[in-house]
Amino acid sequence: MRLRYITGRGGSASEGLSRYLGTQATDFAALPVDATLLKLSIDEQITLINDFCSTATHLVVNSYGAYLWLLSRIDANPSSTDVLMLSPVMGRAVDTEKMMFSRPPRLKGFESAIAEGRVNLPHNVAVYTGREDQVCDFKTATKQCERLGITDLHILENETHNLSHGVVAGAIDSFLIEIQSK
């Protein structure tokens, strides 16, 4: 198994979830969505994501890292990589209570690519997101998963964008058990 992980914004390749995932596979690598990556143009970020994922048989993507991965799948070649998406950014978010608005780059192009059927996802993609996620509203996740053909969607009660450790551990355990049963 060649397990790869793309963090969310500000994530680390050596701490947190990266550290745990590194114990789960002998061939593991993490790509942090850190200041170095974010200084690159969006085209360079997508190219880097494509290159990083090209060797993966199994991929975990988190938050904004998931959005970058989704962008990398526009007009992409078919892939058999198994993918676990945790709190994926999948579109615009509006939180009127906190007066927060988030719109990821290239959203209009991403939406067009979905409508045109140009986002080529692997067959095995699982999504876990919180019902109280203020960064990617569960309604947005539900709509985008439906449009993308993702049927393995888990909307988690009482969870926010920062999923609890127990939920993440359970999602990863399920993902890895499924991998090992193949």
Pairing assessment for the beta strands 93-95 and 100-102 based on DSSP bridges:
antiparallel
The amino acid present at 161, given as its one-letter code, is H
Instruction: Average the pLDDT over 86-102 and give the result.
Output: 72
Is 136 a residue whose pLDDT tops 90? no
> Residue 92's pLDDT is what?
72
Query: Taking the CA of residue 132 as centre, how many other CA atoms within 13 Å lie in the half-sphere pointing to its CB?
Result: 9
| Per-residue b or e along 161-180, where b marks 16 or more CB atoms closer than 10 Å to that residue's CB | bebeeebbeebbeebbeebe
The residue count for the chain: 182
Residues of the chain with pLDDT > 70: what percent?
92
Residues of the chain with pLDDT > 90: what percent?
83
